[in-house]
Amino acid sequence: MLIPSDSTGVFLVRLFQIYRDAVAKVGNFIKVSVREARPKNFLRKKRKIKSFVIRSNFRLIFFDTTAVWHCNNNCVILKKRLHTRGRVVLGPTTFLIKRKKFLRSFIKVL
């Protein structure tokens, strides 16, 4: 189960397909289904959508012995390619997301 960290009104999604790798890491595209959503939302339950992982529980250790990890696995819901459904990303993101087109598609990153 993943928690979307954007302003789409979806509270919980379930991962069922990972593109390319066997384990979803920061920056991977995944396919999810909506499990919980706001009432009368445009994304209903059981809808299958594409998503992008922005935070993960997986601990990343760098060469200078610093480590980065988060408490939850979070994703951002996409329309097509890197165009997002929500306008605001909530919470911190790592510098590993090096897709400028993705970062420019948001009005504000909190």
Which of the following CATH numbers is that of domain 3-109: 2.60.40.1120, 3.30.2350.10, 3.30.590.10, 2.40.150.20?
2.40.150.20
Give the pLDDT score at 20.
84
Terminal-residue alpha carbon distance, the chain: 23
- Domain-wise residue ranges, the chain: 3-109
Q: How far apart are CA 28 and CA 19, in angstroms?
A: 7
Looking at per-residue pLDDT, the higher value among 89 and 103 belongs to 89
CA distances from 15 to 53, 62, 65, 109 (A): 11, 27, 31, 24
pTM: 0.79
Mean pLDDT in the chain? Answer: 84
Cβ neighbours, 10 Å, residue 5? 22
Average pLDDT over residues 89-104: 70
Give the pLDDT score at 7.
87
Average pLDDT over residues 81-89: 79
Lowest-confidence range among 14-18, 75-79, 85-89? 85-89
Q: How far apart are CA 18 and CA 49, in angstroms?
A: 12
State pLDDT tens for residues 28-78: 889 999 999 999 888 899 999 999 888 888 888 888 888 888 888 899 999
